[in-house]
Chains A and B, each alone.
Chain A
């Protein structure tokens, strides 16, 4: 349980930024 918490918390910290980077890339590619 503890590991899951840490895993999820770490993902919650890192993933939003990663997802945003991917979204930005996608949108730029689409615009181009």
Chain B
């Protein structure tokens, strides 16, 4: 049931429990060291008193008695402090989101929604590709139209030039001239026929 406090670890770079364990061990070491120093000082003092009738073993027992008591109080106090640390200092409140996870708040996406988004993007990509193909086809046709129009216009110009040729020789309109020519030749033919007939 221990809360691994992984979210805090993500922010702190270490787990709060590790931090507290480190502090606990350091504090405890200092307690032991200081007590050891106290015992050393007392023993040294006793050396200076020849008839003290207190043996080092007895002093050791005194030290153990005091240390045992202190250790009990130490553990008790430290566990309380640890709880406070873990609740108030080395803890990210439940309503708080770390900056690097802001996107989870602003863009919460389930896997399903995300797949839909990806599918939508694929469809858009296909559509874009289609539009590009369409553009290419339209541009190609426009090019062809240009060529065809140029050719057709060239033909019209050719016809104009033909007519201009006639006009240059005084023939405004080929058709009319031909028609009149045909009519005249028919009339001539008729006249000729008449003349022959009358000659006979």
Tell me if B50 is interfacial: C-beta within 8 Å of chain A: no
- Is the Cβ of A6 less than 8 Å from the Cβ of B17? no
Min CB distance B122 to A, Å, is 11
Asked if B130 lies at the interface with its beta carbon under 8 angstroms from chain A, I say no
Closest to A12 in B: B10
Q: How far is the CA of A12 from the CA of B15 in the complex (A)?
A: 14
In the bound complex, CA of A17 to CA of B4 (Å) = 24
A32: Cβ under 8 A from any B Cβ: no
Q: Please report the total number of A residues contacting B with Cβ < 8 Å.
A: 11
Instruction: Give bound CA distance, A6 to B194, whole Å.
Output: 129
For residue A28, which residues in chain B have a CB less than 8 angstroms away from its CB? Answer: none
Interface size on B, residues (CB 8 A): 13
Residue pair B10, A2 in contact (C-beta under 8 Å): no
Q: With A and B bound together, what is the CA distance between A5 and B5 in angstroms?
A: 9
Contact flags (1/0) for B2-17 with A, using CB distance below 8 Å?
0011110111011101
| 8 Å CB interface, A7-28 against B | 8-10, 12-13, 16-17
Q: How far is the CB of A10 from chain B (nearest CB, A)?
A: 7
A30 to chain B, nearest CB (A): 10
Complex contacts, A12 vs chain B, CB 8 Å: 6, 10
Interface residue from A9, A16, A17 paired with B6 (Cβ < 8 Å)? A9
Residue from A1, A8, A13 in contact with B100 in the complex, judged by beta carbons closer than 8 Å: A13
Q: Is there an interface contact between A2 and B15, defined as CB atoms closer than 8 Å?
A: yes
Report the separation of the CA atoms of residues A10 and B9 in the bound assembly, to the nearest whole angstrom: 8
Closest 8 CB pairs of A and B: A9-B9, A9-B10, A13-B10, A9-B6, A2-B18, A5-B4, A6-B9, A5-B9
